[in-house]
A and B are shown apart, each in its own frame.
Chain A
């Protein structure tokens, strides 16, 4: 019940709101049926609902409050979180590491750009095509990925990201890169004429992100999700109980690539360019997806969104932190990344969950239990596995 508002809140608020978003996630779906996860204490539930509603309101109000430039940055954070979510399905839930999702992002971006510029499509119509094409490329990469594991897979995908801009600039007409002067609005535009371009783009990104996050959330809680997690944790054991290894792995790869493709498609609308001139751009993007996923919290639903907003916030603020020393921005960015990994090894969402588990235990009022015991991690996990149920065992 609290779900839709929670998830929409997730994808929208910049870094100030990042921590509480995590509160909303594990609540849902546990009340209805007997669950393997213990009931959430009322206090925590209350906090989650309040924050979820507040975030949704903020998300809907944000584009009217900020300048167009800031709206553009918010939209960038949203498409980044979609791509990070795609990677999260593959790496976080299915255990296949990819450092090449920038390539799938690029496939989506170029599909949209070419269809719009050369074939006069409206933007919205290109999104499904972009998703399908990048999903198809993902499928093709997914098959060799059956043989290639772990580190090797990471390397093969890394090669993919290095390769993509070269292939694009070789085969796409023009001097490497398709630029759009102004995105065409579709027929919907007349209904929402009151919105400026940047606001419209923001809402479109937001709506797509909400849908895709809900989809991912449903997926990982269902049959497919359990199979994905089983394959990640114990591949051989999973296959002995009848999980179709190849199907799950290749399917996850394709789906994950499709997410990245949608993100790439949206990026064309926001940035108005599909770029093939920068040879390391797609490698950088791949790294950004990975970073967003890890600092937000791998194998969590809200993690990629939280991570994406932290990332965009950090990047924006390190750029003009030191005047005249812009060259240092990546250094500060890198240092911040290392610091986050130190402080929150399970990502922001993982850290907040741990905190909440502790808080929940307190408020559950087990007065008989001595308080100091809660300082240790072990009892936390045994009492509230909700804190780690998706992180695998």
Chain B
């Protein structure tokens, strides 16, 4: 028994590739322009400190498991990049600890520190060494890196002769083709031209499926979070305010960016002062068959008069995809303050056995551009509703069932493929 215990804990621990435990970080920002001796003496005689302490991160806790595609989102200056630098061990936390299992490859501030006087090839080897790879290991990865960066003809040119796009492409290729276990990426999705972005998209989709590779991505692109990530956190003013479900993180981030006065409370994500209440109330049972339909009411309350619109969406939580989403102005509501509701029925006959989450969101026209809308509230995990379709007649695999998707064979060289009728 005594021998088994450490074994077990080691196994449990090996699954966690990154553990961030009560991490806090602050910086001293000089308040005066000059930082020389003269200013130091003036400050000293006047008795001012000459700097102010800015708390960038406070009490951050989360774990990333092997195979995760982990998103970190937050507005500019919220502390994301500092967190990333702490994870990459470039900064040291004031308190708390960060444990990384495996080789970590960072890609921060759009580069890995290239030297403009060296050629592309020399830079790849130098960078590889800084990331901890031997000459032989880089030899093995080199062709892959160059091919991904599409810079075959430029590798013997000095880096200062590269265009900025080429430099970033090379740096990014080194980071993602290096055989690390944990890839840390900061704001990378705008790298390169359209063709290169498509390539990156393929790479991300592929790495998402790889259970041995872990990716930590900082981004402002909520589409990317919804598409690639399986988990995410939202950071605001140095604290994690939403952790876990990527949809909720992405939606809350969108809310944070609109000029909405949010309700400041941990349990009340998705609500604002204008919309302090929104909830989905089911009328159908939690488990239905694909032959049924699902009926529910969206209830919400507003505190002032505005043009309100409701939108709803249906997510397949098992596959992590949005099955259906109405437009932002799908259901115009009354322009009043107080309680309103909307009852809808969803058809389910398209689907196999699946797990669904219904969400709703409230939109108002954007005051700066009435053509567009801004989201001012949405249903968080608690206020949204999860239901299941279960019927032995239907399969568990793909989302859409055979009945609603009858494929017709038109011609085939094998006669057996042609249906008798």
- Are A and B genuine complex partners? no
Question: Hey, which bits of chain B sit against chain A, CB under 8 A?
Answer: none
Question: Hey, which bits of chain A sit against chain B, CB under 8 A?
Answer: none
